[in-house]
Amino acid sequence: MNDAQKCRVNGWKAGTRLIGDEGYGETVIEITAVGESNILARQISHDGETSQRSEAMWTLTHREWRALT
């Protein structure tokens, strides 16, 4: 399953914030677009520190992502 399909299955769309940890601290991203096979997102924070990163292509592999509520 590609990243866009995973988003559709989980009901994640533009505006959804996800949190995941790859072993270096939690990262929070906000999905900005779901395409045919990929997603665009911007990093909101990493390891508790606010990020100012711009929108970029993200992969949902390597972390167990869950939606922030």
What is the structure's pLDDT at 52? 84
What is the structure's pLDDT at 38? 98
Domain edges within the chain: 3-61
Residue 51 burial (CB count, 10 A): 14
pLDDT tens, residue order, the chain (69 aa): 999 999 999 999 999 999 999 999 999 999 999 999 999 999 999 999 999 889 999 999 989 999 997
Q: Cβ contacts of residue 49 below 8 Å, gap of 6+? A: none
What is the structure's pLDDT at 54? 92
Q: Which two tokens stand for residue 38?
A: 């990929």
What is the structure's pLDDT at 48? 92
